Amino acid sequence: MKSWLLAPAVLAAGGLLAGCGAKNKAWVDASAPTLTEAEATATVEKTFDYKHYYTNEFVAQVDSAPPPLVPARPLRLGLYWVANDQIAPWFVGIDLGYFKAVGIDLTIVEGGPSRDNLSKLAGGAIDIYAGFAESIYKQITSRTGTDLMMVSANLKGTGNAWIMLDHTIPPGQRSTVQPSLANLKGARIGISSGAEYWAAFVRDHYHLGPDDLKIVNVGATPDALIAGTVDWFQGWYDDQPRLLDREGYHNYVVLKFDAVGFASYSYISAVTRPYYLQNKDLLRAYVYALHRSVRFVLDHPDQAAALVAKDVTTYALTPDQVRWRIEQDRPLFVGHTGEPLLAFDDGHMLHTVAQLYRYHEIELPRAP
């Protein structure tokens, strides 16, 4: 089962280690908040110009087509993960000629294990990066950080989740259990190294004590969940269930982090600031074409699914599987606060940065 190809979320915050031990408790303790949410938010607002690193200027212009770039210009898009149906709009935009129509020759550069496209962005090996708000703000705020500009937000939330199997029913049945405190207290949580702050977030949200969760370091697939060595597995809520379905385990229960207040954006398009300043015509064209692509995916999911199923070559997907994922991701495309497609919401971004700061994932530099 080559399931690692479908598991981006467990790698989103760090690399993989094997085994578990006493240090796991220390990992979560290190991520435990020392400020309230209000205190963290106030600190970010006072000391860090988080708005300096994203813009809605190109999203604001999507109602009118830009003049095509002449001659056509290449654009290397580096992904966080492999090119699966998570990037449906980019596949659709290439297939339907949306990028070509505005003069962009788009090349997709896959990410995944041992392919750090965020570092390649900083080094100029790619032109634009599609990844998570967490990793982008970490890159910006690190001591050797890169001045980045985010130009569009594909998914206005996180697909991160904890997934458990409902052992009160046969594996072939669908569970109707709603995740609750009762399912969490005393549970063994399978996560990868670097993702501890999500465990700290859940512990804080449910008011659990330091010993109420046991963190077990696992790999990037739900094998430990199937084997029963963990009670919950951290993954992406439309990747891991699909893997479980393939193995005959339909009795999964999903605790979505979005549903319990974790703020994030996923598959943000980011460039370096010099690139942004020098290529505004190209970026306007890119966001326009991407907007058309997202709109097509939402308005014509069956046609989009057929195109994407054909394009994903790393492993086999059926149109029905892609169609299911489009519907799972629809709330993330649309967002929660009524902002336009691809747009950033200031309050949501503030909340995202404040959470990263509160759970010790970033240090705040001086405002530019």
Are 54 and 144 in the same domain? Answer: yes
Which residue do the tokens 């705020």 mark?
141
| Shared domain check, 354 and 309 | yes
Indicate the residue among 208, 239, 260 that finishes a domain: 260
Residue 2 forms part of a structural domain: no
Report yes or no on 364 lying in a domain: no
Q: How far is CA 285 from CA 69, 101, 154, 156, 294, in A?
A: 8, 9, 16, 21, 14
Of 239, 260, 228, which is closest to residue 164 (Cα–Cα)?
A: 228
73 part of a folded domain: yes
Q: What is the DSSP letter of 336?
A: S
pLDDT the model gives residue 224: 93
Q: Are 104 and 138 in contact (CB under 8 A)?
A: no
Q: Is residue 330 in a domain? A: yes
**Residue 221 domain-assigned (yes or no):** yes
| CA separation, residue 50 to residues 18, 151, 257, 365 (Å) | 35, 14, 22, 10
Same domain, 272 and 339: yes
In the predicted model, residues of the chain with pLDDT beneath 50 are 1-23
17 is a domain residue? yes
At residue 129, what are phi and psi to the nearest 5 degrees? -120, 140
Say yes or no: 252 and 168 in one domain: yes
In order, the DSSP letters of 174-243 are PP-PPP-HHHHTTEEEEE-TT-HHHHHHHHHHTT--TTSEEEEE--SSTHHHHHTS-SEEEEETTTHHHH
pLDDT at 91: 97
In this prediction, residue 196 carries a pLDDT of 80
Q: What is the pLDDT of residue 8?
A: 44
Asked if residue 66 and residue 25 are part of one domain, the reply reads no
Q: Which residue has the tokens 């949410």?
A: 37
Boundary of a domain, candidates 234, 260, 286: 260
Q: 268 and 130: one domain? A: yes
Shared domain check, 254 and 272: no
pLDDT in the model for residue 20? 36
List the one residue out of 159, 127, 154, 131 whose CA is nearest residue 290: 154
Residues 151 and 232 occupy one common structural domain: no
61 and 20 assigned to the same domain: no
Boundary residue ending a domain (213, 243, 260): 260
Query: Which residues fall within 8 angstroms of residue 344, CB to CB, at 6 or more apart?
Result: 54, 55, 56, 150, 153, 265
The amino acid that residue 356 corresponds to is L
As a whole number of angstroms, the distance between CA 171 and CA 73 comes to 51
How much is the pLDDT for 102?
98
- Asked whether residue 99 falls in the same domain as residue 180, the answer is no
How high is the pLDDT of residue 96?
Answer: 98
Q: How many domains does the chain have?
A: 2
Each residue's pLDDT tens digit, 170-224: 999 999 999 999 999 999 999 977 778 888 899 999 999 878 999 998 877 889 9
Give the CATH number of the domain where residue 68 resides.
3.40.190.10
**Same domain, yes or no: 111 and 201:** no
- The reply to whether 174 falls in a domain is yes
Which two structure tokens, joined as six digits, stand for 294? Answer: 């997202």
Can you give the pTM of this predicted structure? 0.89
**Domain identity same for 333 and 315:** yes
Domain membership flag for residue 5: no
Instruction: Determine the pLDDT at residue 83.
Output: 87
**What's the CA gap between 282 and 295, in Å, rounded?**
20
User: 332 is in which domain, residue-wise?
Assistant: 40-157+264-358
